[in-house]
Amino acid sequence: MGKDREGKYHPPKGKPSGTTTQKGVTTTNSSTLDQQLEVEDKYDIQADADEIAANVRVRHPNRNVDKGNGRKTPEKKSQSNKNKSVTETFKAESSNVSIDELSPFLSKEGLQEIANYTSNCCISVYIPTHQSGVAVNEQMDPIAFKNALQQIESTLKQRQFDQPTIARILKPGYDLLRDEAFWYALSPGLGLFIADGYFKFMKLPATTAEKILINTSFYLTPLVPFFLSKEYFYLLVISKKQAKLFRADNFGMKYIAVKELPNGVDDVVHFEEKDDQKLFRTGSSGAGEGANYHGIGGGKPDEKENISMYLEEVDETLWKEILHNEHVPLLLAGVEYLIPLFKKVSHYQYIWDKNITGNLEYSDEQQLYRQARELMEPYFRERLNKAKETYGNQSATALTSSVVEDVIPAAYYARISQLFVDKDAQIWGTFDEQANQLTVHEQQEENNDSLMDKAVMKTILNGGEVFIVDKEDMPAQSSIAALMRY
């Protein structure tokens, strides 16, 4: 893949190659994704629509889409809609469906809107995506999404959806597939929610497992960590030459440009001559107002004093600009001898007891975040540990249950205070809320609900707390467990 003069990436051009088929679904590799429109542009012909479906390309945003208007195309043999591909059929269908982006950090109202959406065909797609590297150059993300669209088409055909309906539902997906700019601006994960007349997507801040579910409502459990995560902390990287503040959560961290934060010791401590006397000046660029003069006739202070004044200025600035309203941990990172000095002068009460030591001025931010996140693991587990302790204390009472037949109805009827679910487990079936009738199946069947997902959403929307955890973190030997309100 090459760059033009503006630095934009363009797909490589090459000869057509074949597709591969897995379990009845045609999939495309990177060498075939571009070829159809390449052939169109080169030979000025309209290619067969079935071939387009197998070779959909991500178009350049400046491509002249009217280039072929008025040109003659080879005659095709007539065929029924039944045998046409989705790509061909949707050309004849008008679609005004907007492609909307949703934030993964949904408000309760936003979650309620998408959770309560129902249709005879609600498609939930989750795929891990990439922000850089070979995967981007090789167009692995649009290829994965194209293969997902083909798999969905195949499943809908098996479920007896007619071809025009399939085409109409999937048209916005193929439109998105052609948006090159979209595929070069992704996050670690992507979630898409598709129905007839409905198309929403989320760029997820963390990788999610690849999953496609077609049901009467959307599958939302993979989103729970994003909109339920409340924990965050600050990371202060400090050295004699600079101080940098980051805000970090369970998914990453961002640099915070703090106004007036001193840029090293020399930004706080200066020496000047005045009336034949030596003095040093502080506060010239820090949080202090104006210049503060010290040590008239006393000469230059020692290095430790200089550093202490600098660290005091850092602490004062952080308190004034950021920390005065905070009650979250501040993790310190820097050369080992600076950290106790900062703790000594700081007035912030929530400095974390562990720290990252070393010369970190030029450290890679991702590596630094991984170190910080590992040290902060007890903080992120605190709510879960307290909830498990409460569950254990109540385990001999009627306020706890790990029986599916108890927990699922309790979620619908707003009885659950805290819900624990195994992140790798599923419970399939149906629940008739009016008749209070639960049916559980060992495997997914057509028109089944993910009862696990329903329990999670109902609990959240009814004001309960949800913990999606590894199997070993479950408070009982079950895929689902709950602490009841009553």
Task: Tell me the pLDDT tens digit for each residue of 326-348.
Answer: 999 999 999 999 999 999 999 99
Provide the pairing of β-strand 416-422 with 465-469.
parallel
Domain boundaries, the chain: 2-228, 232-374, 381-484
pLDDT in tens, 129-144: 999 899 999 999 999 9
Query: What single string gives the DSSP state of each residue in 402-445?
Result: --HHHHHHHHHTT-EEEEEEETT---EEEEETTTTEEEEESS--
232-374 folds as Nucleotidyltransferase; domain 5 (3.30.420)
pLDDT in tens, 420-476: 999 999 999 999 999 999 999 999 888 889 999 999 999 999 999 999 999 999 999
Using alpha carbons only, what angle is made at residue 445 by residues 442 and 449, rounded to the nearest 5 degrees?
90
The architecture of the domain spanning 381-484 is: 2-Layer Sandwich (3.30)
Tokens of 4: 């033009």
* 158 membership: H or E segment, kind and range: helix 140-158
Q: Cβ-count burial of 196 within 10 angstroms (0-12 exposed, 13-18 middle, 19+ buried)?
A: middle
Percent of the chain with pLDDT over 90: 62
* Beta pairing partners, 420: 467, 481
Q: Is the pLDDT of residue 294 over 90?
A: no
Residue carrying structure tokens 């809320």: 433
Rg (CA), the chain: 29
Q: Is the pLDDT of residue 283 over 90?
A: no
pLDDT in tens, 188-206: 999 999 999 999 999 999 9
168 close to 111: Cβ distance less than 8 angstroms: no
Better-predicted residue by pLDDT, 88 or 349: 349
Which candidate, 379, 369, 377, 325, places its Cα nearest to that of 348?
A: 325
Percent of the chain with pLDDT over 70: 73
Using alpha carbons only, what angle is made at residue 171 by residues 84 and 197, rounded to the nearest 5 degrees?
120
pTM: 0.72
Per-residue confidence (pLDDT) for residue 322, from 0 to 100: 95
Tokens of 248: 């970090």
Q: Which of 45-49's residues contact partners 24+ apart within 8 Å by CB, and which partners?
A: 45/71, 45/73, 45/74, 46/71, 46/73, 46/74, 48/76, 49/84, 49/85, 49/87, 49/88, 49/91
Beta strands in 34-145 (DSSP E): 100-101, 118-128
Q: Is the pLDDT of residue 298 over 70?
A: no
Better-predicted residue by pLDDT, 118 or 303: 118
416 close to 459: Cβ distance less than 8 angstroms: yes
Which candidate, 53, 97, 83, places its Cα nearest to that of 163?
A: 83
Per-residue confidence (pLDDT) for residue 264, from 0 to 100: 85
Q: What's the CA gap between 65 and 203, in Å, rounded? A: 27
Tokens of 273: 């001559």
Per-residue confidence (pLDDT) for residue 229, from 0 to 100: 80
Of the pLDDT bands very low, low, confident and very high (cuts 50, 70, 90), residue 72 is very low
Tokens of 433: 């809320």
Q: What's the CA gap between 475 and 214, in Å, rounded? A: 31
Per-residue confidence (pLDDT) for residue 66, from 0 to 100: 43
Q: Domain 2-228 - what CATH class? A: alpha beta
**Three-state secondary-structure class, residue 199:** strand
Average pLDDT score, the chain: 80
